[in-house]
Structure 1
Amino acid sequence: MLARSLISRACLSNLSKPNILAIKRDLSHTFYANAAPLRRSRFQPIKKESESAAETATAAGSIEELLDTKIAEKLNEEKVVETAKSSKSKQQHKRPQNKDVKSENDQQKQKVNDKRAAQGSKNSEPENIQKRDYKNEQKRINSTQKPAKVSKVKVKAKKKAADNPNSPKYKLDIPTFLSVANFATILKVRVPELIEKLDDLGFENITNEHILDAETAELIAQEYGFEVNRDDNTGADLFPASETTDSSKLTPKAPVVTIMGHVDHGKTSILDYLRKSSIVKGEFGGITQHIGAFVVQTPVSKKKITFLDTPGHAAFLKMRERGANMTDIIVLVVAAEDSVKPQTVEAIKHAKGSGVPIVIAINKCDKPEANPDKVVADLASHGIDVEDYGGETPVCRISAKTGLGMKEFEETIVTVAELLELKTEERANVEGWVLESQVKKGLGNVATLLIKRGQLKPGCILVSGTTFCKVRVMKDEHGKPIKVAKPAQPVEVSGWKELPEAGDYAIQAKDENYAKKVIINREKRKRMMDEASQVEEMNKRRIKSIEDSKKSEKIQEYQLQGFSLEEIKELEPDLFDDESNKIKYVNFIIKADVSGSAEAVRQSIEGLGNDEVKSRIIFEEVGAPTESDIARAKDSDAEILVFNTKVPKDILNSASKSKVEIKEFNVIYHLIEDVLKTLTSKLTPIYETKVISKVAIKQLFEIGLKGKETMIIAGSRVIDGTFKKNSQVRLVRNGEVIYTGKVKQLKVVKNDVNEVKNGADCGVSLEGDPEMKEGDIIEAFEQIPIQRHL
């Protein structure tokens, strides 16, 4: 009725029939779009913004004002059009002074009239008013957020941005990550409008709390006519040079050989024999503790070979992977009496995956129990194409202890290297791998590099990871100062601003200023990657929060209907979180002699555990523990694991006072075993009930106490074991336990006793005076903890 009366008022305003129909359509769209939330409010709650909009839009006065505005606009439009037509007619009848040139005044008037007419025409189009589907928008806002298919979204957004290259550009600063609501504020658009835009680009079920990355936000901003500001440092970086095909620039280089194998199969003994040095005696547990690099000149061919020595334990997987990535040949050492072991299988998988040629060294062939033929067969069963079976992988039977077959072993490596025709560029920017890094007295931060390309000299600027170095002092593997380090040569370099990480790639920069720009850029990218890794977790937590809120509302609904929490759990157990599924974390702090060792320890123990308890590394650093480490351990309830370095006495005393445990290790597998033991101790104990004796109740007696009090005594007989007064007991009736507690009194005739033997009669009363009946069984039991394992 209200709408009809308002339309009637429009008709009385002398508007043309088409404009009356247009107003009617406009009013209909506006009325029903704004009334939709009111209709929905009878069945479901809606957001506050929708409520306020609906209350304002559906008020009678508001609609009257809306219609008055529309009528005024239409009258004004008709007046403007008539004025424009009249002006044009007058100009046609008036003789122009110049047919080709209009007066400046007429041009201005014509521009104004055209602009007004165009604006009026635009406002009169009813299809532009119905812009949105409010029903679908409300569903989208209230729905649970799901991750969008970002790759498809970005492709679609890029295409749309490319289709509109001539749109105006305004400078805009966008953070690395931002929510849809914050992005709408930056763009100065309404949140529902931005959500609709994201929906068009392929995002699904977006809410105003959804997190966007900078790349996606930039593409969307371009559609709104914005241009995102970029930091000048963003493009500053260093990358490895591509391999040249110009043979005139290449020179031969020594092969880089990595030795792999199971613990104590003789890798260090082989190196010791080759370079005639006594490394084995100084090592703890007979293993090599860090990656070292050594240049060996073979006694027969006088060729140089650079050996990388990766530890044989499975714990050093990451270091071994890095060793194989920088190597030309892999030597797989297998003991003749032990054959293939788990670490051997692991090394085989990595060696085959790297595509590097393999040389098999069957060591300890001098022992009586040696069985090299079995080793060959086992290796073949694990996919090694051995020469003995017609393959291409050479097998050398050696003994590092006696020198058996060692000359043939060296020549085999040289032969394989010659077939590879190893060459590199010496006249190029320096590139190489960081083998190790540590702080040395008198030198500061030093790192051992293995040069891959170019010639390193003092004064060169190197960038590795997020640190750089201006080379000051260079030393070879023997500690002697050198002026030039060539490809395949290990060299110790001082002058690093911060310690680089073992395994990082080092590249020469043109100058120190550019190196700093590279560092800034890499640190920025690292922060972005760290933040990116947290975005998914943030969205998961947000979804979990929404789900928890819905669960709480449902629980409250049940409670309003009179249900208790126990009854609700029985009806809908999914509404409650399972506390038993929560993981306990045991925190550790790692302190090691060098960065490679610290990383190896972390790789060894990080994530150890099961779905009940897990290890977590909260901090790792090179060097001995400090007071700050103790404070950090105390705050986070962590153990400090010290590997291959000494702990000062004052630090040990301080840790003892702070009740912080510091554990020292020199052998990696001892450290792993201790961590596993600590994790096992944190497992929730499981007990097994063991019945140690049984008493059958024959007859009940009521005896008087002081005053009018009485007590029930069960006349019983011990039918199994020895019944003791201090035992934990339970009362069993018809196979069901109806009471658990302690014995109050145990008597034989009238005497109090502590135990009764099997077959003897006794009187028993229980604490709490539970109801006992003839035929009940009293069982004495004990809880025996079951040994649990990870």
Structure 2
Amino acid sequence: MSDDQEKKPKLGRKPLGLKRAVESGEVKQTFSHGRTNKVVVEVKRRKLVGKPGAKPEPVEEAAPPPPPPPAAPAPKAEAPVKKAADATMTRKELQEKLLREAEEARQASMEEARRREVAEKAKREEEEKARAEEKRAAAAKAKEEPAAPVAAKDPVAETPAAPAEAKSEAPKAKASAPAPRKFTPVTPVKRPEPKKPSPKPSRDRNERRQSGKLTVNRALSEGDGGARARSLAALKRAREKERRAQMSGQTREAQPKQSREVVVPDAITVQELANRMAEKGADLVKSLFKMGSMVTVNQTIDHDTAELLVEEFGHKIKRVSDSDVEIKVDSDVDPDETLKPRPPVVTIMGHVDHGKTSLLDALRGTDVVQGEAGGITQHIGAYQVKVKSGEKITFLDTPGHAAFSEMRARGANVTDIVILVAAADDNLMPQTIEAINHTKASGVPMIVAINKIDKHEANPDNIRNRLLEHEVIVEKMSGDVQDVEVSALKGTNLDKLIDAINLQAELIEPKANPDRDAEGVVIEAKLDKGRGPVATVLIERGTLRRGDIFVVGEHSGKVRAMLDDKGKQLKEAGPSLPIEVLGLSGVPSAGDKLTVVENDARAREVAEYRRQKALEKRTATAPASLENMFSALGENQAVEYPVLIKGDVGGSVEAIIGSLNQISTDDIKARVLHSGVGGITESDVQLAKASNAPIIGFNVRANAKAREIAEREGVRFKYFDIIYDLIEDIKGEMAGELGPERIETVIGRAEVKEVFPAGKKDKAAGLLVLDGVLKKGNYARLNREDIIVSKTTVASLRRFKDDVEEVRSGLECGAVLEDTNDIKPGDILEVFDVEMRERVL
């Protein structure tokens, strides 16, 4: 065995061989509580690179020292000393020493690798900054001296010098290898920082793939294997991130921020303001958060807040007035050359049960009246009829009940011709007279249709004479108003009525421009369960197409579908055509104008402006101060009858609210907590429960969930399909809410002369009846100097020692009063009867 082999300690029981690359052994570790652990220790021999027969030398990258002399007597001389020292140490101490020294060496190697990595990163950043500065200087110089392009490229051409030097040094470092280490660890020598590192990611990945066993070779290795090094992918990602940061910085410097003129109305959403400023909505939200406003991009902000945001982002604000936001319909007049003939719009008006819907049914050839509850039209119906001559006529059918006055006025305002239907067997009724007034106010021509001439008691001349009282002179009486005697039931003279309509249409010549954005008026609106908000719209001018963006009242929308009166899908609708429009954001009010706008932003802006104006109008009637509010409460002592109203269409709900306001008195007033179009929902039931109010459903019903909650909470549903039944029922409930009327009748007065004790606690009053009569059990008031002391009843009456039922005027008696002993001589006892009468509104 040679001296080199003797210097290496033997780990375990197996001796280390001469030509084995890896030697392994086991080290047994002992812990508390009898626990042990075996650690495998491996010794790897480093690969030696050099000439055959020559002793390898340690390689250093920066300044390699001179090679040591070939003879090595000193190690041979130290061998006995080392061997003796190892012999004196026990096996366990040797193992612990090796492990401790290995751990210290590993920590030192990791620290050295970390410092080297930090230094390399700093140097790399400095080199990249220097290259960037040279590029910018070269670009600036090229702009100043375009005649010398070669000189501008010199700084860039010199930059690859450093990598070339690093490449020239790499073969030297690779050609040499470190000297073989002895088993005893040696403190690693600090090396100078290389100019250009040459990472070997493949080697690092291979080493990381090895097992997690701690070996002496890995612990003592001076390379990067002792510490975690960044992978090549991580380095590429870091460089790409730095490059993007530099490029973005250059872009921002190259493109200065533009200042825009931002048009801001009184109310605008954060996202819409961001779009007009060409900024990110999230940036505006952050700025508002810093100002203390917790908003989202979809919330609406006022003009002052928008102005602060616009100025903060460096833009200029342009205020717009209310007239700029609102759509100007009156000033938008079509030229005469663009107008084309359109079908006339005819509205049928008259008293209830005079045959309006039956007449329209005969003209259409369909049965409309059977679909109405109780034979009464509850809302406006719109239809277009094609007559035998091929011409089209649009008919509007209005309700005749007194509650639908607003509907009749609305129908008269959107029509070209009014047909006044009057029954020949009846007189002019209040709704007929009201229809005449609406027609005169709107300034449209009138045609009188005297219906029910087939009846035996019919008297058309009576209707003509009664019309004279209201300044309506028909042609038969030398006037200018056409009159036609018809029978809707028998179909008599319907052709004459059509001819009268066509003649009147030729006189007025209805025209409109179809080649423009559509405008129309909402005849009726409702909330359909499957289709959402649906509006019946009469197109006044222009052509409405599928996909158009519009604003109607306080709502906006996009035309998703259009249907005619027969339920047929339409792609476009021209003037005078009644259609059902789907795609609204909410249920509009009857009478609202529908206008097509250029984009969705404009529609939302106008709708938001109108909502704001409606809110201001509602709040304008509220008390201006707290004192005014309390004074208003003191003046209005009427009992409130809360109620929730849900109807099938907006016109019916409007009529119900108007009728409830009319039946209100000074004693009790109907208070509509909520009204809406559509079925009764859970939220309606919760609101009614909180206010202890009934829910009135007009042609609608509650869903299953709402019925379940109502049954559990005790909320009442009241369903109606005829409006005057609803009004009568609510009128009775309001009267019952007040309770029966209490009527007091004074029947006698007596003066207290003396007071006597009666029993242990009670007192008896000696009375002199001044007028009337005193009866046992009557209600009584005890007055002292015209001030009521107590209200009581007469418990007993006595004359001399006898109990009596009554005492008349001029007689004296003794009386015991119920629940009162505050009796003094001189008091006046007033006795009265109480009668409860049923209250009637």
Deviation at 1:770, TM superposition (A): 7.0
Q: 1:656 offset after TM fit, Å? A: 4.2
Q: Deviations over 1:734-755 (max 9, x none)?
A: 9999975212324588676778
Q: Is the 8 A contact 2:383 2:396 kept in 1?
A: yes
Match of 1:486 in 2: 574
Distance between the aligned counterparts of 2:359 and 2:640, measured in 1?
42
> In the TM superposition, what is the alpha-carbon distance from 1:354 to its structure 2 partner?
0.2
1:428 and 2:554 correspond: no
Answering whether residue 796 of structure 2 is matched by residue 745 of structure 1, we say: yes
Deviation at 1:542, TM superposition (A): 7.0
Instruction: Give the residue type in structure 1 aligned to 2:780.
Output: V
Equivalent position amino acid for 2:340 in 1: T
Change over 3 Å in CA distance of 1:780–1:235 after alignment to 2: closer
CA contact (8 A) 2:682 2:705 kept: no
**Which secondary structure state, in structure 2, belongs to the residue aligned with residue 472 of structure 1?**
strand
3-state DSSP of counterpart to 1:402? coil
Which residue of the partner structure matches residue 147 of structure 1?
A: none
Task: Indicate the residue corresponding to 1:340 in structure 2.
Answer: 428
Tell me the number of residue pairs that the alignment of Structure 1 and Structure 2 aligns.
537
What is the distance in 2 between the residues matched to 1:428 and 1:175? Answer: 29
Aligned ranges for residues 376-395 of structure 1 at < 5 Å? 376-395=464-483
- 8 Å CA contact 1:716–1:764 kept in 2: the answer is no
Whether the 8 Å contact between 1:306 and 1:488 is mirrored in structure 2 is: yes
User: For each residue in 1:574-629, what CA deviation from the matched residue of structure 2 results, as whole angstroms up to 9, or x when unmatched?
Assistant: xx999354454433322111233333333433475245543333322222211211
| C-alpha deviation, 1:281, in angstroms | 2.4
Q: Give the structure 2 partner of residue 765 of structure 1.
A: 816
Are residues 400 and 535 of structure 1, via their aligned partners in 2, closer, same or farther at CA, if it must alter by over 3 Å? closer
Please name the residue that 2:612 is paired with: 527
Could you list the per-position Cα deviations for residues 236-277 of structure 1 after superposition, in whole angstroms to 9, with x for gaps in the alignment? 554448443434x33322111111111112111111111122
Q: Is the CA contact 2:357–2:368 (under 8 Å) kept in the aligned structure 1?
A: yes
**C-alpha deviations, 1:480-515, integer Å up to 9, x for none?**
2233422222222323343333322222233xxx23
The one-letter code sitting in structure 2 at the alignment partner of 1:481 is Q
Cα distance in structure 2, aligned partners of 1:624 and 1:272: 29
TM-score, with structure 2 as normaliser: 0.55
1:701 to 1:616, Cα distance in 2 relative to 1, 3 A = closer
1:430/1:499 CA distance change after superposition, 3 Å:
same
Residue 540 of structure 2 corresponds to which residue in structure 1?
452
Corresponding residue of 1:397: 485
User: 8 Å contact 1:434–1:450 — kept in the other structure?
Assistant: yes
The match for 1:246 is: 336
The answer to whether the 8 A contact 1:729-1:741 is kept is yes
Q: For 1:164-219, what per-residue CA distance to the aligned partner results, in whole angstroms no more than 9, with x for missing partners?
A: xxxxxx9999989xxxxxxxxxxxxxxxxxxxxxxxxxxxxxxxxxxxx999xx9x
1:524 alignment partner, SS class: helix
Matches within 5 A, 1:650-729: 650-681=705-736, 687-691=742-746, 712=764, 725-729=776-780
What CA distance in whole angstroms lies between the structure 1 residues aligned with 2:387 and 2:361?
Answer: 13
Residue pairs, 1:80-159, within 5 angstroms: none
Measured at CA, do residues 777 and 518 of structure 1 come closer, stay the same or move farther in structure 2, by a change above 3 Å? closer
Compute the displacement of 1:423 (Å): 1.9
Q: CA deviation at 1:349?
A: 1.4
- State whether structure 2 residue 686 is matched by structure 1 residue 631: yes
| Amino acid corresponding to residue 343 of structure 2 in structure 1 | A
> Structure 1 residues 420 and 762 mapped into 2: Cα distance closer, same or farther (>3 Å)?
same
Q: In the alignment, what sits opposite 2:360?
A: 271
| Counterpart check, 1:500 vs 2:551 | no
Letter in 2 for 1:651: A
Q: How many Å apart are 1:719 and its aligned residue? A: 9.9
The answer to whether the 8 Å contact 2:764/2:814 transfers is no
Matched letter for residue 244 of structure 1? D
Counterpart check, 1:476 vs 2:603: no
> In 1, are the aligned partners of 2:697 and 2:718 still within 8 Å (CA)?
yes
Correspondence 1:250-649 to 2 at 5 A: 250-299=339-388, 301-440=389-528, 442-510=530-598, 514-531=599-616, 534=619, 537=622, 540-541=624-625, 544=628, 579=634, 581-606=636-661, 609-648=664-703
Flag structure 2 segments of 5+ consecutive residues without an equivalent.
1-260, 268-301, 308-315
Q: Secondary structure at the match of 2:360?
A: helix
Quote the Cα distance in structure 1 between the aligned partners of 2:749 and 2:654: 61
Which AA in structure 1 matches 2:833?
Answer: E
Q: Superposed, which structure 2 residues align to 1:52-67 within 5 Å? A: none
Are 1:698 and 1:717, in contact at CA under 8 Å, matched by a contact in 2?
no
Counterpart Cα distance in 1 of 2:763 and 2:622: 63
Identity of aligned residues (%): 39
Q: CA 1:406–1:761 in 2, change beyond 3 Å: closer, same or farther?
A: farther
Matched-pair contact (CA < 8 Å) for 1:644–1:665 = yes
Q: d(CA) in 2 for partners of 1:435 and 1:730? A: 62
Contact 2:537 2:578 (8 Å CA) reproduced? yes
Provide the C-alpha distance between the structure 2 equivalents of 1:640 and 1:586, rounded to a whole number of angstroms.
12
What is the distance in 1 between the residues matched to 2:262 and 2:530?
A: 51
Q: Is the Cα contact below 8 Å between 1:236 and 1:518 reproduced in 2? A: no
Q: Distance in 1 between matches of 2:663 and 2:648?
A: 23
Query: Per the alignment, do residues 375 and 584 of structure 1 end up closer, same or farther by CA in structure 2, a change over 3 Å counting?
Result: same
Q: Which residue type is aligned with residue 605 of structure 1? A: L
| 1:334 alignment partner, SS class | strand
Tell me the amino acid that sits aligned with residue 816 of structure 2.
S
User: After superposition, what is the alpha-carbon deviation per residue over 1:717-775, rounded to whole angstroms, capped at 9, x for unaligned?
Assistant: 99978x7533213579999999752123245886767789999998643343676989x
Offset, 1:448: 2.3
- What secondary structure, in the 3-state scheme, does the structure 2 residue paired with 1:471 have? strand
Question: CA 1:383/1:661 → structure 2, altered by over 3 Å: closer, same or farther?
Answer: farther
Q: Kindly tell me: are residues 527 and 730 of structure 1, through their superposed partners in 2, closer, same or farther at Cα, counting changes over 3 Å?
A: closer
SS of 1:628's equivalent? helix
Change in Cα spacing, 1:352 to 1:695, as seen in structure 2 (3 Å) is closer
SS in 2 for 1:404: coil
Q: Which amino acid aligns with 1:541?
A: S
The alpha carbon displacement at 1:287 in A equals: 0.8
Q: Distance in 1 between matches of 2:265 and 2:536?
A: 41
The AA in structure 2 aligned to 1:250 is L
Q: Is the 8 A contact 2:348 2:398 kept in 1?
A: yes
Is the radius of gyration larger for structure 1 or structure 2?
2
Q: Offset at 1:370?
A: 2.9
What is the rounded CA distance, in whole Å, between the counterparts of 1:679 and 1:583 in structure 2? 12
Contact kept in structure 1, 2:757 and 2:764, CA below 8 Å? yes
Q: Distance in 2 between matches of 1:412 and 1:251?
A: 22
Contact 1:234 1:521 in 2 (8 A): no
How big is the shift at 1:309?
A: 0.9
User: Relative to 1, partners in 2 of residues 1:704 and 1:743: Cα closer, same or farther, differing over 3 Å?
Assistant: closer
Paired position in structure 1 for 2:90: none
Maintained 8 Å contact 2:265/2:321:
no
Q: What letter is aligned with 1:269?
A: S
Q: CA 1:738/1:367 → structure 2, altered by over 3 Å: closer, same or farther? A: farther
8 Å CA contact retained: 2:680, 2:702: yes
Q: C-alpha separation between the residues in 2 aligned to 1:250 and 1:175?
A: 36
Shift of 1:293: 0.8
Matched residue of 1:624: which SS? Answer: coil
**Which segment is superposed worse, 407-416 or 758-767?**
758-767
**1:703 CA displacement:** 8.3
Structure 1: state its 5+ residue gaps. Answer: 1-169, 177-212, 219-226, 549-575
8 Å Cα contact 2:739-2:838 kept in structure 1? no
Distance (whole Å) between structure 2 residues aligned to residue 582 and residue 490 of structure 1: 47
AA aligned to 1:621 is G
